[in-house]
Structure 1
Amino acid sequence: MSDASASESEPTILHATFTARPGEGDRVAELLREFSVEVQAETGNVVFDATRLVDDPDRFFVYEVYRDHAAFQAHISAPAGVPFNAALQELIVEPSSQLTFLRRL
Protein backbone atom coordinates (compact mmCIF):
# COMPACT_ATOMS: atom_id res chain seq x y z
CA MET A 1 0.00 0.00 0.00
CA SER A 2 1.42 3.39 -0.93
CA ASP A 3 1.76 6.23 1.56
CA ALA A 4 -0.93 8.21 -0.27
CA SER A 5 -3.51 5.44 -0.05
CA ALA A 6 -2.58 4.73 3.58
CA SER A 7 -3.13 8.37 4.51
CA GLU A 8 -6.44 8.40 2.61
CA SER A 9 -7.68 5.49 4.73
CA GLU A 10 -6.30 6.71 8.07
CA PRO A 11 -8.54 8.74 10.36
CA THR A 12 -8.44 12.50 9.84
CA ILE A 13 -7.75 14.04 13.24
CA LEU A 14 -7.61 17.73 14.02
CA HIS A 15 -8.31 20.37 16.56
CA ALA A 16 -9.70 23.83 16.00
CA THR A 17 -9.16 26.79 18.28
CA PHE A 18 -10.70 30.24 18.26
CA THR A 19 -11.49 33.14 20.55
CA ALA A 20 -14.90 34.73 20.99
CA ARG A 21 -15.10 38.48 20.68
CA PRO A 22 -15.75 40.23 24.01
CA GLY A 23 -19.28 39.47 25.17
CA GLU A 24 -19.88 36.78 22.52
CA GLY A 25 -18.64 33.68 24.38
CA ASP A 26 -22.09 32.38 25.27
CA ARG A 27 -23.33 32.86 21.69
CA VAL A 28 -20.31 30.94 20.38
CA ALA A 29 -20.98 28.16 22.90
CA GLU A 30 -24.61 27.87 21.80
CA LEU A 31 -23.63 27.86 18.13
CA LEU A 32 -21.15 25.06 18.84
CA ARG A 33 -23.70 23.03 20.78
CA GLU A 34 -26.12 23.19 17.85
CA PHE A 35 -23.42 22.41 15.26
CA SER A 36 -22.13 19.50 17.37
CA VAL A 37 -25.48 17.73 16.99
CA GLU A 38 -25.25 18.05 13.20
CA VAL A 39 -21.63 16.88 12.99
CA GLN A 40 -22.08 13.95 15.37
CA ALA A 41 -24.89 12.69 13.12
CA GLU A 42 -22.55 12.54 10.11
CA THR A 43 -21.81 8.95 9.11
CA GLY A 44 -18.03 9.40 9.09
CA ASN A 45 -17.70 11.41 12.28
CA VAL A 46 -16.03 9.57 15.16
CA VAL A 47 -15.52 12.46 17.61
CA PHE A 48 -16.63 16.07 17.69
CA ASP A 49 -15.88 17.39 21.15
CA ALA A 50 -16.34 21.14 21.59
CA THR A 51 -14.94 22.61 24.79
CA ARG A 52 -14.34 25.95 26.46
CA LEU A 53 -11.19 26.77 28.39
CA VAL A 54 -11.78 26.97 32.14
CA ASP A 55 -9.26 29.78 32.69
CA ASP A 56 -10.33 31.75 29.61
CA PRO A 57 -14.01 31.11 28.74
CA ASP A 58 -13.74 33.13 25.53
CA ARG A 59 -11.28 30.53 24.14
CA PHE A 60 -12.67 27.39 22.51
CA PHE A 61 -11.03 24.08 21.63
CA VAL A 62 -12.73 21.56 19.35
CA TYR A 63 -11.28 18.05 18.92
CA GLU A 64 -12.45 16.21 15.80
CA VAL A 65 -11.91 12.74 14.39
CA TYR A 66 -13.29 11.48 11.08
CA ARG A 67 -13.20 7.86 9.91
CA ASP A 68 -10.96 8.67 6.93
CA HIS A 69 -10.13 11.41 4.43
CA ALA A 70 -13.38 10.87 2.50
CA ALA A 71 -15.42 11.30 5.69
CA PHE A 72 -13.59 14.55 6.44
CA GLN A 73 -14.23 15.80 2.89
CA ALA A 74 -17.91 14.95 3.32
CA HIS A 75 -17.89 16.93 6.59
CA ILE A 76 -16.38 20.07 5.09
CA SER A 77 -18.82 19.99 2.19
CA ALA A 78 -21.89 19.26 4.34
CA PRO A 79 -24.66 21.90 4.12
CA ALA A 80 -24.59 22.66 7.87
CA GLY A 81 -21.00 23.90 7.70
CA VAL A 82 -21.65 26.97 5.56
CA PRO A 83 -24.07 28.76 7.91
CA PHE A 84 -22.08 27.63 10.97
CA ASN A 85 -18.80 29.05 9.65
CA ALA A 86 -20.44 32.27 8.49
CA ALA A 87 -22.02 32.81 11.92
CA LEU A 88 -18.83 31.83 13.75
CA GLN A 89 -16.72 34.24 11.71
CA GLU A 90 -18.87 37.14 12.95
CA LEU A 91 -18.41 36.10 16.60
CA ILE A 92 -14.68 35.36 16.84
CA VAL A 93 -11.50 37.42 16.92
CA GLU A 94 -9.61 35.37 14.32
CA PRO A 95 -10.58 35.47 10.62
CA SER A 96 -11.54 31.77 10.99
CA SER A 97 -10.95 28.88 13.34
CA GLN A 98 -7.29 27.86 13.55
CA LEU A 99 -6.93 24.22 12.47
CA THR A 100 -4.15 21.85 13.52
CA PHE A 101 -4.07 18.42 11.90
CA LEU A 102 -2.77 15.50 13.94
CA ARG A 103 -1.59 11.94 13.27
CA ARG A 104 -1.83 8.98 15.61
CA LEU A 105 1.44 7.44 16.70
Structure 2
Amino acid sequence: MTEPTILHATFTAQPGQGDRVAALLHDFAEVVRAEEGTVVFDASRLADDPDRFFVYEVYRDDEAFRAHLAAPAGVPFNAELQTLIVEPSSQLTFLQRV
Protein backbone atom coordinates (compact mmCIF):
# COMPACT_ATOMS: atom_id res chain seq x y z
CA MET A 1 0.00 0.00 0.00
CA THR A 2 1.34 3.43 -0.87
CA GLU A 3 1.82 5.97 1.86
CA PRO A 4 -0.01 9.28 1.79
CA THR A 5 1.96 12.51 1.39
CA ILE A 6 1.38 14.56 4.54
CA LEU A 7 2.62 18.05 5.26
CA HIS A 8 1.85 21.29 6.95
CA ALA A 9 2.50 24.78 5.69
CA THR A 10 2.91 27.87 7.84
CA PHE A 11 3.16 31.52 6.93
CA THR A 12 2.58 34.96 8.42
CA ALA A 13 0.50 37.72 6.86
CA GLN A 14 2.10 41.11 6.55
CA PRO A 15 0.63 43.68 8.96
CA GLY A 16 -2.91 44.54 7.92
CA GLN A 17 -3.15 41.68 5.38
CA GLY A 18 -4.48 38.86 7.61
CA ASP A 19 -8.08 39.06 6.42
CA ARG A 20 -7.01 39.23 2.78
CA VAL A 21 -4.78 36.15 3.24
CA ALA A 22 -7.65 34.35 4.98
CA ALA A 23 -10.02 35.09 2.09
CA LEU A 24 -7.46 34.00 -0.50
CA LEU A 25 -6.74 30.81 1.42
CA HIS A 26 -10.44 30.07 1.91
CA ASP A 27 -11.09 30.24 -1.84
CA PHE A 28 -7.99 28.18 -2.67
CA ALA A 29 -8.94 25.54 -0.10
CA GLU A 30 -12.25 24.94 -1.88
CA VAL A 31 -10.39 24.27 -5.14
CA VAL A 32 -7.80 21.99 -3.54
CA ARG A 33 -10.42 19.95 -1.66
CA ALA A 34 -12.05 19.19 -5.03
CA GLU A 35 -8.80 17.79 -6.49
CA GLU A 36 -9.08 14.06 -7.01
CA GLY A 37 -6.12 13.03 -4.81
CA THR A 38 -6.73 15.39 -1.88
CA VAL A 39 -7.66 13.64 1.37
CA VAL A 40 -7.42 16.66 3.72
CA PHE A 41 -6.77 20.35 3.14
CA ASP A 42 -7.45 22.15 6.42
CA ALA A 43 -6.52 25.83 6.63
CA SER A 44 -6.53 27.66 9.97
CA ARG A 45 -5.43 30.85 11.68
CA LEU A 46 -3.69 30.67 15.04
CA ALA A 47 -6.16 31.60 17.78
CA ASP A 48 -3.64 33.76 19.62
CA ASP A 49 -2.02 35.28 16.50
CA PRO A 50 -4.51 35.71 13.62
CA ASP A 51 -1.77 36.82 11.22
CA ARG A 52 -0.19 33.34 11.47
CA PHE A 53 -1.65 30.60 9.28
CA PHE A 54 -1.39 26.81 9.48
CA VAL A 55 -2.43 24.50 6.65
CA TYR A 56 -2.57 20.72 7.17
CA GLU A 57 -2.54 18.74 3.93
CA VAL A 58 -2.89 15.03 3.16
CA TYR A 59 -2.74 13.66 -0.37
CA ARG A 60 -3.50 10.08 -1.36
CA ASP A 61 0.12 9.51 -2.42
CA ASP A 62 3.11 11.28 -3.96
CA GLU A 63 1.50 11.20 -7.41
CA ALA A 64 -1.56 13.05 -6.07
CA PHE A 65 0.71 15.61 -4.35
CA ARG A 66 2.62 16.19 -7.59
CA ALA A 67 -0.70 16.63 -9.42
CA HIS A 68 -1.70 19.21 -6.80
CA LEU A 69 1.56 21.10 -7.34
CA ALA A 70 0.99 21.08 -11.11
CA ALA A 71 -2.67 22.16 -10.91
CA PRO A 72 -3.34 25.53 -12.58
CA ALA A 73 -4.94 27.14 -9.50
CA GLY A 74 -1.68 26.97 -7.54
CA VAL A 75 0.27 29.43 -9.70
CA PRO A 76 -1.94 32.51 -9.17
CA PHE A 77 -2.58 31.57 -5.52
CA ASN A 78 1.14 31.33 -4.69
CA ALA A 79 1.97 34.48 -6.67
CA GLU A 80 -0.58 36.52 -4.75
CA LEU A 81 0.25 34.88 -1.42
CA GLN A 82 3.93 35.81 -1.80
CA THR A 83 2.98 39.50 -1.96
CA LEU A 84 0.93 39.25 1.25
CA ILE A 85 3.18 37.28 3.62
CA VAL A 86 6.33 38.02 5.60
CA GLU A 87 8.24 34.88 4.52
CA PRO A 88 9.52 34.45 0.95
CA SER A 89 7.07 31.51 0.60
CA SER A 90 5.08 29.04 2.69
CA GLN A 91 7.25 27.09 5.11
CA LEU A 92 6.60 23.39 4.40
CA THR A 93 7.15 20.54 6.86
CA PHE A 94 6.66 16.99 5.59
CA LEU A 95 5.36 14.38 8.02
CA GLN A 96 5.19 10.59 8.31
CA ARG A 97 2.47 8.63 10.05
CA VAL A 98 3.47 6.55 13.05
Q: Tell whether the structures are fold-level matches, with TM greater than 0.5.
A: yes
Task: Pick from 49, 55, 71 the counterpart of residue 56 of structure 1.
Answer: 49
Distance 1:61 1:10 in 2: 22
Structure ranking higher in strand proportion: 2
Percent identity reads 76
Distance 1:52 1:88 in 2: 15
Runs of 4+ in 1 over 6 A off after TM superposition: none
Matches within 5 A, 1:22-101: 22-101=15-94
Unaligned runs of 5+ in 2: none
| TM-score for the superposition, normalised by structure 1 | 0.92
SS in 2 for 1:22: coil
SS in 1 for 2:24: helix
Q: 1:70-90 CA distances to partner (integer Å, 9 max, x unpaired)?
A: 000000000000000000000
Q: 1:14-34 CA distances to partner (integer Å, 9 max, x unpaired)?
A: 000000000000000000000
How big is the alpha-carbon RMSD for the aligned residues of Structure 1 and Structure 2? Answer: 0.7
Matches within 5 A, 1:14-29: 14-29=7-22
AA in 2 matched with 1:21: Q
Bigger Rg, structure 1 or 2: 1
